[in-house]
Amino acid sequence: MPQEPVVMQATGLNRRCAPVLLTAALLAACGKAPEPQAIAVPARQHQPPLNLSVCGQNVRYDHIPRRAVTHDVNITESFLYLGLGRRLVGYSGIPSSKEISPQLKPWLQRLPDLSSQGMNLEVLLGAEADFVFGGWSYGFRQGAVTPERLASHGIASYVLSESCIRVQKRERIALDDALLDMENISRIFGVLQQTQPRIDRLRASQSRLRQQMKGNRTLPRVFVYDSGQEIPVTVGHFGMPQAMLEEAGATNIFSDLTQNWQRGNWEDVIERDPEWIVIIDYGQPDALGKIEFLLQKKELEAVSAIRNRRFFVMSYAEATPGPRNIEAAQRLAAALHPERKISVQRVEFSAGELP
């Protein structure tokens, strides 16, 4: 039986109309021509209202957002990859330990950093946001900021597909999840026709990787090491690296875990004997520090990846759903299967310019 749609609209807030302009000093520091941080977009409605399935729930979007906020580095990169930077009034969840693409740093420096840690409702209201792009454990948390709580304040939202495993059962994770999210964001902002070529370029890279991996029968065992010394945090069956490993011709030694990111244990790492270790580079220690820790951990000395010094480093933004997943999967496939001469297509960003 169809559910009544949740209505996502922004009607209860006093929206500013004037664009916020950069100061001359900041513009000089960036070495760029003057550009506004956010443009005053005339209020528009979806005709008819847009209905999307978000975490298995039918959500209706009546209005095209004008003042958006993104949370976390991968989500912000997705938004900027689409060329929607001028719709942003701020971002959150990007501490200094999470590296954004160097191509996007100049753009990010022009926007307010609303919170380097968690999502804050009062700050969102103060920014007069009418839309938030986040995810469960990517800013949204039960008992804190949730899509329902935002809606009660007239703020629409969209939930990252990978994170839906936190609130519903899923069958699988796929690289396509991030592409679908970008298509849905484009629909919400009424720009899918302009952004589809950019999304299609990512799909073409994915198709190229699949073609180059066709017929592969060698599947190295891989341990994804996120963090943790007493107990390792790793990727389970529903985290984006699971899909990346599948595309790159490898197996995740913790694919039996039923979440996206969760705790494993060192005993299973030893028993399952990974041939490669993927290091997620963020936080402290950095990638080199994490590798040094693993090399010095005596109980791991017989593990194949440790003995053969086989490490692959991936940034946080590459390991979480976003436009750089496919490029990272290509690099991983090239490392695991050098004989296949995998081509790597670098992602190009145009943060504030729609095609």
Tell me which residue range forms the domain holding 254: 221-340
> H-type helices in the chain, by residue range?
24-30, 73-81, 105-108, 121-126, 147-152, 176-188, 192-213, 240-247, 266-272, 287-296, 304-307, 316-319, 325-336
pLDDT of residue 42 exceeding 70: no
Phi, psi (5° rounding) for residue 285?
Answer: -70, 165
Same domain, 136 and 179: yes
Gap between the Cα atoms of 224 and 280, Å rounded: 7
Is position 190 within any domain? yes
Whether residue 266 contacts residue 233, with contact meaning beta carbons closer than 8 Å, is answered with no
Task: Indicate the pLDDT class of residue 38, thresholds 50, 70 and 90.
Answer: low
Same domain, 128 and 182: yes
Q: Provide the pLDDT for residue 18.
A: 35
Q: Provide the pLDDT for residue 25.
A: 33
Whether pTM > 0.85 for this model: the answer is yes
- Of 141, 167, 202, the residue at which a domain comes to its end is 202
Task: Indicate the pLDDT class of residue 353, thresholds 50, 70 and 90.
Answer: confident
Same domain, 170 and 31: yes
Same domain, 172 and 254: no
Q: Provide the pLDDT for residue 14.
A: 39
Q: Which residues pair with 71 in a beta bridge?
A: 92
Same domain, 263 and 298: yes
Same domain, 50 and 136: yes
Kindly give the pairing relationship between strand 36-38 and strand 113-115.
unpaired
Is position 1 within any domain? no
Q: Of 72-76, 107-111, 319-323, which gets the smallest average pLDDT?
A: 107-111
Whether residue 215 contacts residue 246, with contact meaning beta carbons closer than 8 Å, is answered with no
Is position 354 within any domain? no
pLDDT of residue 233 exceeding 70: yes
Is position 153 within any domain? yes
Average pLDDT over residues 192-211: 97
Average pLDDT over residues 42-67: 93
Same domain, 39 and 155: yes
Q: Provide the pLDDT for residue 116.
A: 87
Same domain, 40 and 144: yes
DSSP letter string over 103-168? TTHHHHTTS-EEESSS--HHHHHHTT-SEEEEEETBEE-TTSS-HHHHHHTT-EEEE-GGGGGGTS
Is position 216 within any domain? no
Is position 131 within any domain? yes
**For the domain that residue 248 is a member of, what is the CATH number?**
3.40.50.1980
- Of 202, 234, 261, the residue at which a domain comes to its end is 202
Average pLDDT over residues 146-168: 96
Tokens of 128: 């007069």
Is position 282 within any domain? yes
Task: Indicate the pLDDT class of residue 35, thresholds 50, 70 and 90.
Answer: very low
Same domain, 191 and 278: no
Q: What letter does residue 19 receive in the DSSP assignment?
A: P
Whose CA is closest to 290, among 224, 221, 227? 227
Q: How many domains does the chain have?
A: 2
Is position 152 within any domain? yes
Q: What letter does residue 98 receive in the DSSP assignment?
A: S
Same domain, 144 and 13: yes
Same domain, 73 and 124: yes
Same domain, 112 and 198: yes
For residue range 3-29, list pLDDT tens digits in order.
444 555 444 343 333 333 333 333 333
Q: Provide the pLDDT for residue 258.
A: 87
Q: Of 16-25, 153-162, 308-317, which gets the smallest average pLDDT?
A: 16-25
Average pLDDT over residues 44-62: 95
Whether residue 157 contacts residue 6, with contact meaning beta carbons closer than 8 Å, is answered with no
